[in-house]
Amino acid sequence: MTHEWADHRIFEVEDGAILYGVDHASLFLIDSSVQEVINRWGNDPTVDLSKVSESDRDVLEGLRDIRLLIPAGSAKSWPPVRFDPEEFPMSTMVLEVAQDCNLRCTYCYAEGGSYGGQSRLLDSETARAAARYLVKESGDLKDLTLVLFGGEPLLNMPAIKAAVEEAEKMASAAGKRLLVSLTTNGTLLNADIVSFFRDHRVVVSVSLDGPPDLHDANRPYASGKGSYSKILPQVQALLENNTSAVAARVTLTPDQWSRCEEVFDHLMGLGFHEVGIAPASPISKDLFPDQEQEDVLLQSFAAMARRFSRAAREGRILPFANLIELLGRLHMGQTKAVACGAGYGYLAVDAGGEFYLCHRLAGEKDFEVGNLETGPDPEKIRSCLGHVTAGKDEMCEKCWARTLCSGGCHYENHLRENTLGIPPGSSCNFILRWLQIGIELYADLRHAGADKLLAQFEKRTGC
């Protein structure tokens, strides 16, 4: 039978090469003999296995077995089959309990945390209704996630308590497991709140951007005063009393990207169990990075990957969330037909009880897709998804990362394309280089025999 090459890419690494199969996001360490056979036959549009030398045939049959050589004329895997949002039960609800904040972070999408003066708190009855909706509409799913978000969610503890208690009661009656997570700026934590989180096993992330000078530059109060010294004692109480791991969620502006390692070390020194570092979204042109700044960030992430590798060789996991999430996906061979779960069982509910495609798009009328009374409107979800993915299929078709990225975050794309007027694809170079860092690290860990360590990441995914 005649075969043709499935889309693949070879990454040269120190100890050999990695063969990456695009369709299945599969990774294989290969030696020079396999690479030579691929080089010999790789430019032929088709390969007839009966007409190659015996030694080449052995290698090519191995490549066929791992679906790198496929029967000629097989269906192409891109564009992927598009699912119907209606087929997806609710699995994750992001509840915006407070569209208000006591800080004025420089990179905040909500007009520096002020919400343009339109701050709103979710009332407790609506919080309970949202919790009931999540459980009732979850079909046969056994695992549900309720994410409590803001603004600053701790401005509205009554709604948090109402939502958590109702969701727990409903989930328990339905025989489902519920995960509750919450991201806070930490300023309003107190003993009662910490004990509520402990009793209800809430997984808490604290937005803390690093050492005082850096954090205070990013996350001041409305008065201009920094928030670091206020947060620190509250966070210590949380770290000492919470039964779940507590993560620090860092946001850095492009001029701060050279400080990633220092930030990581500072936060680990405070006792956080894990640290994730996100580049600030380009809500305005001055936060849109230039090439040099992107290089600096990638160099910082590459340095973190080297530290990760050294720790793994000592049998330890470096708790850097960015790499843990990516390694988990690579290890599971998790491919993406869509960029994220938004609209496919993942929806946000804002403080007024309206559904949005994603929490970061809450408040944008074009992404409102129904409300708690009427339920999400499948037609509106389809139309939103159609709008945010328009033009991506063609752009992504020839990209080796398409099954890992699938077009990128809708919110980030929307910001760049609609707010800044930058054409699609402006973040691709960064995405590709970041994925390559992850792939090379993954190969390195496999090479080092760190399979048991990798297996621990299997349950980790992003949004």
Residues that bind ligand SF4 in the complex, under the rule CB under 6 A? 340, 342, 358, 360, 395-396, 399, 401-402, 405, 407-411, 425, 428, 431-432, 463
Q: Is 14 exposed, middle or buried (0-12, 13-18, 19+ CB in 10 A)?
A: exposed
Q: Specify the residue, 103 or 147, whose C-beta has the smaller distance to ligand SF4.
A: 147
Task: For residues 403 and 411, give the distance between their C-alpha atoms in angstroms, rounded to a whole number.
Answer: 19
Task: For residues 24 and 403, give the distance between their C-alpha atoms in angstroms, rounded to a whole number.
Answer: 7
Q: Specify the residue, 345 or 407, whose C-beta has the smaller distance to ligand SF4.
A: 407
Q: Specify the residue, 180 or 399, whose C-beta has the smaller distance to ligand SF4.
A: 399
Q: Specify the residue, 141 or 268, whose C-beta has the smaller distance to ligand SF4.
A: 141
Q: Specify the residue, 16 or 425, whose C-beta has the smaller distance to ligand SF4.
A: 425
Residue 190 CB, nearest approach to ligand SF4 (Å): 30
Residue 15 CB, nearest approach to ligand SF4 (Å): 27
Residue 361 CB, nearest approach to ligand SF4 (Å): 7
Q: Specify the residue, 34 or 369, whose C-beta has the smaller distance to ligand SF4.
A: 369
**Integer angstrom CA distances of residue 211 from 173, 251, 342, 435:** 45, 13, 34, 28
Residue 165 CB, nearest approach to ligand SF4 (Å): 26
Residue 339 CB, nearest approach to ligand SF4 (Å): 6
DSSP 76: P
Q: Is there a contact between 342 and 367 (Cβ–Cβ < 8 Å)?
A: no
Q: Is there a contact between 89 and 138 (Cβ–Cβ < 8 Å)?
A: yes
Task: For residues 184 and 205, give the distance between their C-alpha atoms in angstroms, rounded to a whole number.
Answer: 6
Helices (H), 43-139: 54-65, 124-136
Task: For residues 393 and 399, give the distance between their C-alpha atoms in angstroms, rounded to a whole number.
Answer: 10
Residue 400 CB, nearest approach to ligand SF4 (Å): 8
- State whether residue 374 is helix, strand or coil: coil
The residue among 396, 427, 393, 395 whose CA lies nearest residue 413 is: 427
Q: Is there a contact between 123 and 159 (Cβ–Cβ < 8 Å)?
A: yes
Location of structure tokens 């951007």: 209
Q: Specify the residue, 329 or 402, whose C-beta has the smaller distance to ligand SF4.
A: 402
Q: Count the helices and strands in the chain (H runs, E runs).
A: 16, 17
Helices (H), 45-95: 54-65
Q: Is there a contact between 107 and 280 (Cβ–Cβ < 8 Å)?
A: yes
Residue 288 CB, nearest approach to ligand SF4 (Å): 17
Q: Specify the residue, 230 or 360, whose C-beta has the smaller distance to ligand SF4.
A: 360
Residue 416 CB, nearest approach to ligand SF4 (Å): 11
**Integer angstrom CA distances of residue 388 from 62, 222, 288, 347, 424:** 40, 34, 20, 15, 11
Q: Is there a contact between 305 and 440 (Cβ–Cβ < 8 Å)?
A: yes
- State whether residue 156 is helix, strand or coil: helix
Q: Specify the residue, 16 or 424, whose C-beta has the smaller distance to ligand SF4.
A: 424
Beta strands in 242-345 (DSSP E): 247-252, 274-279
Residue 80 CB, nearest approach to ligand SF4 (Å): 11
Residue 402 CB, nearest approach to ligand SF4 (Å): 4
Q: Specify the residue, 259 or 414, whose C-beta has the smaller distance to ligand SF4.
A: 414
